[in-house]
Structure 1
């Protein structure tokens, strides 16, 4: 059952949306906990020369400068279909970033022989370093993949993809659902907006979010089948739901992704899905979580390649 959070968030007044004062108070409490340069940029520097690493923008936050990178796979051909893989939209979701990097390092070369690859492994580097869902302006990038987006993390990667002038056939966005969603991020969201917080049950296992307006259940099943070889698939709760949404099939729910401003909603890809790994499960290690993200990407691309002429 869904539960209601009754304790107050330490910032703000219950029932009153945050002003700039509370937002500044929240920002002042954030601390750098890991290095985007060491964990991400250094791995991009080590890629083979035939990977086209492009800087598509920069985030300037206080004294911090974060160059943003997207990668075109080897052997790009304008007449081939393209796959877009995005990670780190929510910086705290570590396996999304490391899974995208792992795919780049270990697997992408093989798939680039038959399709074009675009990979943005860490869309929100400040949030990666501070282990956050929001950017410094208390905005969620994964609710702002919209026209004229006020969130630079979202706007800059959308502009980069558009500049490629290629049709995206498949888009896989790599995410996690964590215990901190209920412990920190959902309470913070409710406090920011001055509303009552409603927590959801955190699923133990991997699941997918598809686009309710472009349902491709066989495609998503192929992704789930691939991931199930690495880690377990989440079961529905006693209401037949995952994170409050009805289950379409085991391990799969649907959202209206464009309406919600989600990352997979900004492309017109026929095949699209958001992955959700549960890193806090006693049944999964961090390495398994990274491998599950890679398996999700390879499962998706294998499904597509079987259907290409």
Structure 2
């Protein structure tokens, strides 16, 4: 067991109430601009065949935060006979390459696939968390444990509604994430304090890995993605117990979660092919550009696999 420092908010063993949540929110500060880093690239001249649509708004002004338009990108020439691809990023706003990797794929690779698939992309599902480099929303809720139609996390609820309206039939879903050192230094201890539980610590895997849905693991699909990303960034090795973040490795670089019951974004559709990426941006073996590239490569290789290429 790795030692952990008690979180500075709350009483150990007692779940947070309104006062503790307010104290947590007061500690959060804006560190980057959603408008500049996400909205501006989306609203600039995009690839031919793509259109940007607003699917909702987050209004956190009553909490002293901002108002955020939620944007999706979809194929302008949407055809019923084509397979449909869903790409989601920024469910956890602090996971930077999930957002920037999606935008990289959009501007560089979208046109290559536009004639073969319908694409719906939600590149930055949690914009307040993107600005504050956070895992939670301002209510101290983790959207990626609350993906359902009636979610108390508005980020998850609006994303779910968007996908249901825009792409009710999805063939491939790629959900872009990161695992960072701050999972152990900040977000794990905060979650334990919020829930009145003991903090758990797992070694952060040094490299890229995938999380498959245990209900539809598609091992050949996951293997194809790992092989493609291995050309871009290192793949995480299992720990001495044969695990990654405490979960048994099913094949090199791949673990399984039961996505639906856990309320994860990856369980929001019935797509036969699904994967959740996990990039490690704090590794001395990689760079931010490589992390973004790993996300983009995953999306492209996943579509190639879908198309039988």
The answer, yes or no, to whether TM exceeds 0.5 is yes
Alignment match, 2:10:
12
**90-99 vs 163-172, which moves further:** 163-172
Alignment match, 2:229:
227
CA distance in 1, matches of 2:32, 2:93: 11
Q: Deviations over 1:17-51 (max 9, x none)?
A: 11100000000110000000000000001114631
Q: CA deviation at 1:79?
A: 2.2
Whether the 8 Å contact between 1:177 and 1:277 is mirrored in structure 2 is: yes
Q: Which runs of 5+ in 2 are unaligned?
A: none
CA distance in 2, matches of 1:73, 1:278: 30
Note if 1:143 corresponds to 2:142.
no
Alpha-carbon RMSD: 1.1
Alignment match, 1:175:
177
Q: Which runs of 5+ in 1 are unaligned?
A: none
Alignment match, 2:259:
257
Q: Deviations over 1:272-302 (max 9, x none)?
A: 0100000000000000000000011111111
Q: CA deviation at 1:4?
A: 4.4
Alignment match, 2:55:
56
| SS of structure 2 residue aligned to 1:176 | coil
Alignment match, 1:188:
190
| SS of structure 2 residue aligned to 1:17 | coil
Alignment match, 1:28:
26
Q: TM-score, normalised by structure 1?
A: 0.97
Alignment match, 2:304:
302
Whether the 8 Å contact between 1:78 and 1:166 is mirrored in structure 2 is: no
Whether the 8 Å contact between 2:49 and 2:111 is mirrored in structure 1 is: no
Equivalent residue runs for 1:283-294 within 5 Å = 283-294=285-296
Match of 2:112 among 110, 113, 127: 110
CA distance in 1, matches of 2:3, 2:264: 25
| SS of structure 1 residue aligned to 2:97 | helix
CA distance in 2, matches of 1:30, 1:114: 43
After the TM superposition, list the runs of 4 or more consecutive aligned residues in structure 1 that deviate by more than 6 angstroms. Answer: none
Whether the 8 Å contact between 1:206 and 1:231 is mirrored in structure 2 is: yes
CA distance in 1, matches of 2:294, 2:113: 18
CA distance in 2, matches of 1:48, 1:220: 28
Q: CA deviation at 1:230?
A: 0.4
Whether the 8 Å contact between 1:53 and 1:70 is mirrored in structure 2 is: yes
Equivalent pairs counted in the alignment come to 305
Q: CA deviation at 1:151?
A: 0.7
Q: CA deviation at 1:167?
A: 1.2
Match of 1:237 among 236, 239, 250: 239
| SS of structure 1 residue aligned to 2:171 | strand
CA distance in 2, matches of 1:174, 1:115: 19
Q: CA deviation at 1:140?
A: 0.2
Match of 1:162 among 136, 152, 164: 164
CA distance in 2, matches of 1:49, 1:290: 22
Q: CA deviation at 1:146?
A: 1.7
Q: Deviations over 1:155-196 (max 9, x none)?
A: 101101111254100000000000000000000000000110
CA distance in 2, matches of 1:21, 1:42: 36
Q: CA deviation at 1:73?
A: 2.2
